[in-house]
Amino acid sequence: MSEINHIVIVGGGSAGWLTAGVLAAEHRTRAGATLRISLLESPNVGPIGVGEGTWPTMRDTLSSVGVTETDFIRECDASFKQGSKFQQWVTQREDDCYFHPFVLPQGYTETNLVAGWLERHADVPFADLVSFQPHLCAQGKAPKQAATPEYAAVANYAYHLDAGKFGLFLRKHCIENLGVQHVVDHVVGVNTHDNGDIASLKTGQNGDIAGDLFVDCTGMQSLLLGQHYGVPFNSQKHVLFNDTALAMQVPYQNDDSPIASQTISTAQRNGWIWDIGLPTRRGVGHVYSSAHTSDDAAQHELHSYIERTGGPKDMPSPRKLTFNPGYRDKFWHRNCVAIGLSAGFIEPLEASAIALVELSAAMLRDQMPATRAAMDIVARRFNDSFTYRWERVIDFLKLHYVLTKRTDSDFWRDNCRAESIPDRLQEQLLLWRHQPPSRYDFHRVEEVFPSASYQYVLYGMGFRPEGPPVSRRTDDADRADGYFREAAALTSKMLAALPTNRALIGHIKRHGLSKI
Ligand SMILES: Cc1cc2nc3c(=O)[nH]c(=O)nc-3n(C[C@H](O)[C@H](O)[C@H](O)COP(=O)(O)OP(=O)(O)OC[C@H]3O[C@@H](n4cnc5c(N)ncnc54)[C@H](O)[C@@H]3O)c2cc1C
């Protein structure tokens, strides 16, 4: 029945510092709190330093941690992200593109918009008809005005950020304002209790560091959960083939070049290229399958993309990162919970990794077991939630590949092979031939991707239902038309009222945002 008084987080990347911040901020506001939080990071192993795209959840996370949006934007070279734009994923043609915006379609829960779209407006891209956000992105608009308070939105948004600066920003806040104890040392071993729980960590310089709960944020090496406990790794390479990335930082042509309001993801012969606009530079990288292409060929495609999109001709060699796509069989074992890359990683196609960190840290905060006896129950629930979430991330990412009409390489052909498609996704695709994705397909309280996201990708990729949807009402098209008009009116209003991303970032740098 021993109490949980000391939490030891190992790892000082985004996962470690976000978890420390989320736990410490809550602990400080709790009456009679006795919880101590220490974060241990190695001086020899740096954080991965990539991961520039986030989800709108980050606004709540940062606000709960107690940092201001102004400081965050200034110190992390952050900009606003309103979704993703996918280019050449379907046909490879120059004009082949679709949006996955962050706002739900107008009137989404009220009527069957898909029926109305197909009946009367089938020539308009689905996202352009049901949402104002793709139009804001197309014009490089910010998701709020200079007078909109911190973290508040006119249009739902997340951020693009510099991962290295983000870690340092969180570290400073956690140490100076939240009382997190910071130990810079390398963990060289693990001491266990008789029951197998971790008692303490052996360090190079600071002796043994004891704790009641250990959070493994050690990145891909998964020091505690993977290496010490040997929790098996559930590889997903047979579903999502990408396992290598080449990353670069690309300068803008000039200081006032527009900052893109969305992540631009352009499909290549054997993978895809991300393009993320920060205030001072772009982050560009090629993610690809090493089984389908060589590093040289991938680098050549990356360099030619950079040149085509206005970058310099003579870029240095990119940084290469390799990963094994997949996740652990479980994430919480005995008194050890893995958060971040130590729990798993799948290609960054929808930037879900940091979002899973936020969800993990929030569940740990909200469900913090008071005693060791309660811990196994919480651990079971945690494992159930996150196994479900990883499975849904995989389904959703795979959806981006299975509807392609590209046949220019084995990569795209292999992606469409039935045996590479998870059963549940296959089943849903069958159902969606007759009815649109809905809340009946995704009914958990905190789904990682709502049914609206599936609609955006499905119809963006050219998927069309067969015949009239089964749930159709006779007045669906009329009702939907009302919402399409609403979306169009909002588009005009917002285009006129919102500054550009670049202008708003400039304003924040000079004057800051008003407090809530
Ligand atoms: C190519 C690529 C692109 C990505 N893009 C995105 C994206 O757009 N959006 C997104 O959400 N995510 C993205 N990610 C994932 C994102 O980078 C990570 O999820 C995030 O940075 C968290 O990493 P981490 O903290 O788990 O691990 P790391 O940053 O690797 O940190 C590991 C920490 O563990 C410490 N450590 C290791 N061993 C020891 C030891 N023995 N003793 C003490 N300390 C130790 C290290 O010192 C380090 O501080 C991307 C990942 C890759 C590979």
Q: Which atom of ligand 1 is nearest to the CA of 188?
A: 41
Mean of pLDDT values over 416-433: 97
Cα 49 to ligand 1 centroid, rounded to whole Å:
7
245 strand-pairing partners:
287, 321
Say how far apart CA 271 and CA 295 lie, in whole Å: 12
Say how far apart CA 469 and CA 119 lie, in whole Å: 11
Q: Is 14 in the pocket of ligand 1 (CB under 6 A)?
A: yes
Q: Kindly give the pairing relationship between strand 36-41 and strand 233-235.
A: unpaired
Q: Which atom of ligand 1 is nearest to the CA of 355?
A: 11
Residue 32: pLDDT band (50, 70, 90) is low
Mean of pLDDT values over 72-98: 97
pLDDT of 433 above 90: yes
DSSP letter at 513 equals P
Q: Which atom of ligand 1 is nearest to the CA of 220?
A: 30
Residue type, 16: G
Residue 411: strand, helix, or coil: helix
Residue with tokens 């919402």: 483
Where does residue 271 rank: exposed (0-12), middle (13-18), buried (19+ CB within 10 A)?
buried
Q: Which of 50, 327, 337 to mutate to test the pocket of ligand 1 (most atoms within 8 A of CB)?
A: 50
The number of beta carbons lying within 10 Å of the beta carbon of residue 496 is: 7
User: Token digits for 288?
Assistant: 């690809």
Angle, nearest 10°, between helix axes 353-366 and 57-65? Answer: 50
Where does residue 205 rank: exposed (0-12), middle (13-18), buried (19+ CB within 10 A)?
exposed
Cα 95 to ligand 1 centroid, rounded to whole Å:
35
Residue 177: strand, helix, or coil: helix
Q: Which atom of ligand 1 is nearest to the CA of 41?
A: 44
The fraction of the chain above a pLDDT of 70, given in percent, is 98
| DSSP assignment string, 244-272 | EEEEEEE--SSTTPPPPSSEEEEEETTEE
Residue 476: pLDDT band (50, 70, 90) is confident
Segment 47-68, tens digit of pLDDT = 999 989 999 999 999 999 999 9
Q: Which atom of ligand 1 is nearest to the CA of 218?
A: 34
Mean of pLDDT values over 496-508: 98
pLDDT of 411 above 90: yes
Residue 65, pLDDT score: 97
Query: Which amino acid residue places its CA nearest to atom 53 of ligand 1?
Result: 321
Residue type, 199: A
Mean of pLDDT values over 479-506: 97
pLDDT of 328 above 80: yes
Report which of 237, 295, 242, 294 is spatially closest to residue 267, judged by C-alpha positions: 242
pLDDT of 321 above 90: yes
Residue 398: strand, helix, or coil: helix
Q: Is 301 in the pocket of ligand 1 (CB under 6 A)?
A: no
Work out the mean pLDDT of the chain and round it to a whole number: 95
Residue 2, pLDDT score: 85
The pTM (predicted TM-score) of the whole model is 0.97
Mean of pLDDT values over 428-450: 92
Q: Is 53 in the pocket of ligand 1 (CB under 6 A)?
A: yes
pLDDT of 199 above 80: yes
Q: Is 351 in the pocket of ligand 1 (CB under 6 A)?
A: yes
Say how far apart CA 263 and CA 52 lie, in whole Å: 10
Cα 440 to ligand 1 centroid, rounded to whole Å:
34
Residues 228 and 334: beta-carbon distance below 8 Å: no
Cα 51 to ligand 1 centroid, rounded to whole Å:
8
Residue 424, pLDDT score: 97
pLDDT of 382 above 80: yes
Mean of pLDDT values over 320-340: 98
- Where helices occur in 88-226 by DSSP H, the ranges are 113-120, 126-130, 133-138, 163-177
pLDDT of 506 above 70: yes
User: Token digits for 11?
Assistant: 């790892």
Residue 467, pLDDT score: 76
Mean of pLDDT values over 146-157: 97
**CB proximity list for 206: less than 8 A, separation 6 or greater:** 183, 185
Buried b vs exposed e over 272-286: b needs ≥16 C-beta within 10 Å? bbbbbbbbeebbbbb
